[in-house]
């Protein structure tokens, strides 16, 4: 039945209560131009265009209406507590890791105390040199990796902790965006000063502790040194100054872990389950009224999310949606939904050919001058297929997540320098004989140490005046080594640890994170291969196997390499032993460590070029936070997908995964028309059904060649490739 183009007064009032303008934005000329466009809100109305495409319903894109207002409520009766957390943050896991660190601390204290005033042990046990060379580094690496896992996991759930209600059931006030959805957590050490500025002191303490523990393996490697004497005896020397440093690191590390344990015991996360996939994060915003907040992130890709959202407020938990108290929803939202006040005198309700919208009228205009029944050159309905302009000052495939491209060049220089160093070592056959350098770091040499050509020299230390001698820079044959141990053992181990565990770990994390977007680049991909991929926070080893099954070779390789990265600094710590002969410092190379380190360096030199991100892995923003990910899909039809609704009482992660899997929807990365009728870059459903029940393309890829284009350009047809 044909609708009248001029609605009755009652119909107009009804429509006025249902539809509204999108919220206004500040000061940018582009925003002023965009505000002039009429928007299509959603109240479950099927919208059709002139070319016959039926478009899915869209959500409200502005001030909340009575039907969409969210009222925060405490945990409803019969609902499970919202306190899911990562496995590594469970109390029993934290207890095990704390116990291991306590035992390591006790071992350091015991070793220093039992060494006596001369700081040495003597033994005829031949394998003591291997124990001294490798065991401390292994223990330090385990402590470092376990602490890193805890701090990573806490950084990931800290935004949710800040938005959740109190554990006693009281509804908490909203938290600002710079403390929640906008706070950087990927990688965990991004913008380390930010948590301190916004009052998240535990998160700041975790970042500082993560930095301190990065020295753990290096100082562990120099804590003990061994020397073989001519009589077959071995002298193990303890360096108390490094031991006291290790004690300080362990104390700080354990204090932060206890702080995390206490914080988690006295609060809840607000989560039904650990959000490990993109779909898990999107589901938290399905019933939300805050999606409009992320538009500014799309238009200002160089501005950090926590700066844009610092005045916005968010809460995670249960809500009553609208006036019906039985309509309980779950997710991240805001009780005071909109603050934009609109002049009802300048708004007319339009209903034409099934399209309903409210359009601002300029003074002196007649209503029939702004009636829109279909897409035009400047006005578009939601999710249309028109090729409209998308102006951006920057190409969207610009930033690589987690790690910067310049870091590959920086660390590549170190790797290829190390490769040259090993090639020189092979040429000189340093693995077959010792080499030495002149002792230039000390002016005085001990009188009881005679210069000899071999390494079997007097390694007896001068007894200190105190029980624990921290003055290990005094001129003694054994204690003279401390600066050389720091320079030639601790420093290389720290660089190796920072590179292998730190940077290569971030490369692995970045490749995992970008794989869903790479799968959607220029082609359609299933939800199983995109938003349901659990690569970022998956179990080590299991990610490698899953990636091999899906033929994601880059993820498989770097995740496999990451399983062995921690061994590299351990091998570097045992690369050679150092002996002070007086005027010269003698290095004895361990051939096994030498060859294994060489294998690692060769593998890294081959792998680093493949770490350079291709265009399909680049995104408009550095994805540090939850908000950065939402900026790619906030206006998409995907956010309207009922499969993302996790508000039901007994819904689980398996329900969410199963619903998305059974829909068999294809997703693509590119340009699409959003629910506001404007062009966006991000990911969405590749196809939509028209009135003839036919799948029509919805997402299009734009090449770099004609990124800035105008409507009607002839090359546009060639430039846009259907996903």
**Is the pLDDT score of 409 beyond 70?**
yes
Nearest Cα residue to 469 out of 116, 226, 110: 116
Q: Please state the rounded mean pLDDT for residues 633-642.
A: 92
Q: Please state the rounded mean pLDDT for residues 695-712.
A: 61
- pLDDT score recorded for residue 358: 34
**Is the pLDDT score of 651 beyond 70?**
yes
Gap between the Cα atoms of 56 and 233, Å rounded:
82
Name, in order, each residue with C-beta under 8 angstroms of 178's C-beta and a sequence gap of 6 or more. Answer: 194, 198, 306, 307, 309, 310
Q: Structure tokens of 170? A: 């009281």
Would you say 461 and 471 are in contact if contact means Cβ atoms under 8 Å apart? no
Q: Please state the rounded mean pLDDT for residues 189-194.
A: 92
State the pLDDT confidence band at 449, using cuts at 50, 70 and 90: very low
**Is the pLDDT score of 723 beyond 70?**
no
Gap between the Cα atoms of 142 and 216, Å rounded:
10
Name, in order, each residue with C-beta under 8 angstroms of 328's C-beta and a sequence gap of 6 or more. Answer: 73, 76, 318, 319, 320, 321, 647
Tokens 């309903």, located at residue: 356
- pLDDT score recorded for residue 350: 29
Q: Which of 35-39, 574-578, 586-590 has the lowest mean pLDDT?
A: 35-39
**Is the pLDDT score of 99 beyond 70?**
yes
Q: DSSP 3-state assignment of 355?
A: strand
State the pLDDT confidence band at 382, using cuts at 50, 70 and 90: low
Phi-psi region of 125 (alpha: psi -120 to 50; beta: other; left: phi over 0): beta
- pLDDT score recorded for residue 32: 35
CB atoms within 10 A of CB 541: 12
Q: Please state the rounded mean pLDDT for residues 338-358.
A: 32
Q: Please state the rounded mean pLDDT for residues 667-691.
A: 84
For the chain, percent of residues with pLDDT exceeding 90: 46
Q: Which of 6-20, 94-108, 329-343 has the lowest mean pLDDT?
A: 6-20
Gap between the Cα atoms of 34 and 36, Å rounded:
5
Rounded-to-5 percentages of helix, strand, coil across the chain: 40, 15, 45
State the pLDDT confidence band at 41, using cuts at 50, 70 and 90: very low
**Is the pLDDT score of 408 beyond 80?**
yes
State the pLDDT confidence band at 24, using cuts at 50, 70 and 90: very low
Q: Which of 19-33, 184-198, 676-690 has the lowest mean pLDDT?
A: 19-33
State the pLDDT confidence band at 65, using cuts at 50, 70 and 90: low
Q: Please state the rounded mean pLDDT for residues 438-462.
A: 46
Q: Structure tokens of 135? A: 């065991």
Gap between the Cα atoms of 166 and 82, Å rounded:
11
pLDDT in tens, 452-466: 334 333 343 333 333
| Mean pLDDT estimate for the chain | 77
For the chain, percent of residues with pLDDT exceeding 70: 73
> First and final CA of the chain: distance in angstroms?
36
State the pLDDT confidence band at 493, using cuts at 50, 70 and 90: very high
Name, in order, each residue with C-beta under 8 angstroms of 492's C-beta and a sequence gap of 6 or more. Answer: 572, 575
- pLDDT score recorded for residue 67: 64
pTM for the full model?
Answer: 0.78
Would you say 183 and 159 are in contact if contact means Cβ atoms under 8 Å apart? yes
DSSP class of 499 = I
Q: Which of 38-47, 84-93, 179-188, 230-239 has the lowest mean pLDDT?
A: 38-47
- Residue 43 CB burial class (10 angstroms; 0-12, 13-18, ≥19): middle
pLDDT in tens, 109-137: 999 988 877 778 888 887 888 898 899 99
- pLDDT score recorded for residue 2: 38
């Amino acid at each position: 039945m044909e609708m009248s183009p001029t609605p009755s007064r009652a119909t107009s009032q009804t429509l006025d209560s249902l539809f509204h303008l999108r919220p206004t934005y500040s000061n940018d000329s582009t925003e002023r131009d965009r505000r002039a466009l009429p928007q299509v809100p959603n109240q479950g109305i099927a919208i059709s265009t002139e070319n016959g495409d039926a478009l899915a319903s869209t959500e409200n894109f502005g001030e909340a209406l009575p039907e969409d207002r969210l009222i925060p409520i405490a945990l409803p009766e019969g609902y499970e507590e919202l306190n899911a957390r990562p496995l590594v943050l469970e109390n029993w896991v934290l207890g095990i890791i704390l116990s291991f660190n306590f035992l390591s601390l006790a071992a350091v204290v015991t070793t220093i105390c039992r060494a006596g005033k001369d700081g040495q042990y003597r033994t005829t046990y031949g394998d003591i040199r291997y124990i001294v060379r490798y065991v401390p580094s292994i223990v330090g690496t385990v402590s470092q990796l376990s602490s890193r896992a805890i701090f990573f996991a806490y950084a990931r759930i800290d935004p949710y902790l800040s938005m959740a209600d109190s554990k006693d059931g009281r509804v908490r006030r909203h938290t600002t965006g710079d403390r929640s959805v906008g706070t950087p957590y990927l990688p965990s050490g991004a913008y380390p000063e930010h948590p301190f500025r916004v009052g998240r002191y535990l998160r700041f303490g975790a970042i500082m502790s993560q930095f301190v523990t990065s020295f753990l393996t290096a100082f562990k490697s120099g804590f003990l040194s061994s020397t073989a004497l001519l009589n077959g005896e071995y002298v193990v020397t303890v360096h108390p100054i490094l031991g006291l440093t290790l004690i300080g690191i362990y104390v700080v590390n354990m204090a932060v872990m206890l702080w995390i344990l206490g914080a988690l015991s006295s609060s809840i996360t607000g989560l039904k389950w650990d959000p490990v996939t993109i779909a898990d994060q999107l589901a938290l915003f399905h019933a939300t009224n805050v999606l409009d907040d992320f538009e500014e992130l799309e238009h200002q890709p160089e501005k950090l999310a926590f700066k844009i959202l610092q005045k916005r407020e968010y809460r995670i938990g249960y809500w009553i949606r609208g006036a019906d108290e039985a309509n309980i929803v779950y997710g991240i939202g805001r009780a005071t939904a909109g603050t934009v006040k609109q002049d009802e005198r300048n708004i007319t309700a339009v209903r034409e050919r099934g399209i309903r919208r409210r359009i601002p009228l300029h003074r002196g205009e007649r209503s029939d001058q702004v009636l829109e029944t279909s897409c035009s050159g400047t006005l578009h309905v939601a999710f249309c297929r028109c090729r409209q302009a998308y102006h951006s000052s920057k190409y969207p495939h610009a930033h690589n997540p987690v790690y910067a491209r310049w870091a590959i060049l920086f660390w590549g220089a170190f790797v290829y320098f190390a490769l040259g160093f090993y090639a020189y070592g092979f040429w000189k056959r340093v693995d077959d004989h010792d080499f030495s350098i002149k002792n230039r770091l000390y002016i005085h040499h001990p009188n009881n140490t005679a210069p000899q050509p071999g390494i079997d020299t007097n390694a007896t230390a001068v007894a200190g005046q105190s029980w624990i001698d921290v003055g290990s820079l005094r001129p003694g044959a054994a204690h003279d080594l401390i600066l050389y141990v720091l320079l030639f053992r601790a420093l290389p181990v720290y660089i190796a640890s920072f590179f292998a565990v730190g940077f290569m770990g971030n490369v692995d994390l970045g490749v995992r994170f970008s794989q869903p977007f790479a799968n959607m680049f220029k082609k359609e991909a299933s939800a199983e291969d995109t938003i349901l991929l659990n690569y970022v926070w998956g179990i080590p080893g299991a990610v490698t196997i899953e990636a091999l099954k899906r033929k994601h070779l880059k993820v498989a390789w770097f995740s496999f390499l990451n399983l062995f990265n921690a061994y590299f600094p351990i091998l570097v710590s045992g690369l050679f032993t150092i002996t002070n002969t007086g005027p010269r410092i003698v290095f004895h190379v361990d051939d096994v460590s030498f060859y294994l380190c060489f294998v690692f360096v060769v593998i890294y030199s081959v792998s680093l070029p493949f770490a350079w991100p291709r265009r399909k892995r680049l995104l408009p923003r550095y994805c540090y936070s939850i908000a950065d990910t939402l900026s790619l899909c906030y206006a998409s039809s995907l956010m309207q997908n009922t499969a993302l609704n996790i508000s039901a009482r007994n819904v689980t992660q398996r329900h969410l995964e199963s619903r998305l899997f059974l829909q068999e929807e294809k997703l693509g990365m590119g340009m699409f028309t959003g629910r506001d009728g404007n062009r966006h870059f991000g990911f969405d459903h590749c196809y939509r059904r028209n009135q003839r029940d036919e799948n029509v393309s919805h997402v299009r890829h734009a090449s770099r060649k004609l990124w800035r284009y105008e409507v009607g350009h002839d090359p546009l047809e060639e430039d846009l490739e259907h996903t």
